[in-house]
Amino acid sequence: MATRILITGDYWHSDFKDLIAGCSVSTTLVTTDKLLAPQNEAVSQSGSGKGVRALSEDAFDLVAIAQSRQGQFDQSLIDGVKAFAGTSPVVMLLGSWCEGEHRSDRPAEGVKRVFWHQWQGRFSTFVDQLAKEGITLWHGPNTETDADRVGTFLPGESYSGNNLCVGISAWNVESYNVLSEAVKTFGWQTRWVERSSLASLAGAVNVICIDANALDEHLERRVAWLKEKVFEVPLVLTLNFPRHHEVADLQNMGITHVISKPFELNDLRVTIATAAESHLIAPAVASTSTIPAPKTSKSLRSANGQRSSV
């Protein structure tokens, strides 16, 4: 049976527009007041032609509450959505302005949390798990913490693309080691781009994962250089808390996927595998030069700052 989801809350916000437009499963959008009304009704967005009808007639595999800012919905409303969802998991889909809510606000209780830039990978994992096993990580108990969920990840799980070689672009050995050790838990190989000649990367690297802290001139120069010299290899970027406009700018620069730091191992695994599978052409290399370093050590320190752990 095809996956069906319902999204409520502030789903018209710009952080969620592209996410919803690109959703590949049957999706129903409904405001919270209609959802929680005694005789709730909504317009199906799935193209089924059923028009306006009572939501109680439907069974959804997932209910998501789109929240664009901290404190937008109180706990009583969230509890009402959970009651409507029944045994289906409820996920808070969080926008850019919800970053740091653990420090300055009290996150909603009894729901899973996923930021807009994490949705693609985690939702695709949800759909795959639901189809294969009928139960997913989002079906975990409401008292489950982020640490509990991370603990369920098994590096040895079978996954397509087991023979991947990932090039890692990082300015220092500490950053390279963090990403390299994470990638190796998936059974994949790694190469340090800055310590390798392009000739040695030719035909070997399937994806390049770039470590960065901010969208600045150094990153722009690095991406431009990689696009010029290794133009057929998809570029994945890890970045501290990306904003919606930053992701759009990065995609225009040639970045195929952006991962927010700090991230979960499964986010990294799914994103790299997706990038590799969507671009199966072997990499072509134009020269044997190595990647240019920042102009000054002062700029290098400024660009790196303090690094987040995986």
Instruction: Give pTM, 2 decimals.
Output: 0.68
Residue listed under structure tokens 């109680």: 56
pLDDT digits (tens, 9 = 90+) for 234-283: 999 999 888 888 988 999 999 999 998 888 888 899 899 989 887 664 44
CB-based contact 76:110 (threshold 8 Å): no
* CATH numeric code, 165-304: 3.40.50.2300
pLDDT digits (tens, 9 = 90+) for 194-219: 998 877 787 789 999 999 999 999 99
Residue listed under structure tokens 């096993």: 133
Domain with residues 4-151, CATH architecture:
3-Layer(aba) Sandwich (3.40)
pLDDT digits (tens, 9 = 90+) for 87-111: 899 999 999 888 766 665 678 888 9
Percent of the chain surpassing pLDDT 70:
74
- The reply to whether omega before 262 is within 30° of 0 (cis) is yes
Which pLDDT score, from 0 to 100, does residue 145 have? 57
- The CA angle 172-177-180, to the nearest 5 degrees, is 125
Residue 76 — very low, low, confident or very high, per pLDDT cuts 50/70/90? very high
Query: Same topology for domains 4-151 and 165-304, yes or no?
Result: yes
Question: Rounded to whole angstroms, how far apart are CA atoms 269 and 260?
Answer: 13
CB-based contact 42:34 (threshold 8 Å): yes
- Kindly list the domain boundaries of the chain, sorted by start residue: 4-151, 165-304
Q: Which residues are CB-contacts of 143 (< 8 A; sequence separation ≥ 6)?
A: 110
Q: Which residues are CB-contacts of 157 (< 8 A; sequence separation ≥ 6)?
A: none
Q: Which two tokens stand for residue 150?
A: 């991370």
Q: Which residues pair with 260 in a beta bridge?
A: 239
Q: Is 124 exposed, middle or buried (0-12, 13-18, 19+ CB in 10 A)?
A: middle
**Max mean pLDDT range (38-42, 108-112, 281-285):** 108-112
pLDDT digits (tens, 9 = 90+) for 142-179: 666 555 554 454 444 434 456 899 999 998 999 999 99
Question: Rounded to whole angstroms, how far apart are CA atoms 194 and 210?
Answer: 11
First to last CA, the chain: 36
Task: Specify the 3-state DSSP secondary structure of 261.
Answer: strand
Letter for the amino acid at 20?
I
Which pLDDT score, from 0 to 100, does residue 45 have? 47
How does DSSP assign 207-234, residue by residue?
EEEEE-SS-SHHHHHHHHHHHHHSTTS-
Q: Which two tokens stand for residue 123?
A: 């939702």
pLDDT digits (tens, 9 = 90+) for 252-265: 999 999 998 888 88
CB-based contact 73:46 (threshold 8 Å): no
Question: Rounded to whole angstroms, how far apart are CA atoms 289 and 139?
Answer: 49
Question: Rounded to whole angstroms, how far apart are CA atoms 11 and 93?
Answer: 9
- The mean pLDDT value for 69-97 works out to 92
Residue 239 has phi, psi (to 5 degrees) of -145, 145
CA atoms within 13 A on the CB side of 24: 8
Q: Going edge to edge, which strands form the sheet with 257-261?
A: 189-192, 165-169, 207-211, 235-240, 257-261
Question: Rounded to whole angstroms, how far apart are CA atoms 60 and 118?
Answer: 21
Which pLDDT score, from 0 to 100, does residue 215 have? 92
Higher pLDDT, 66 or 159: 66
Which pLDDT score, from 0 to 100, does residue 103 have? 62
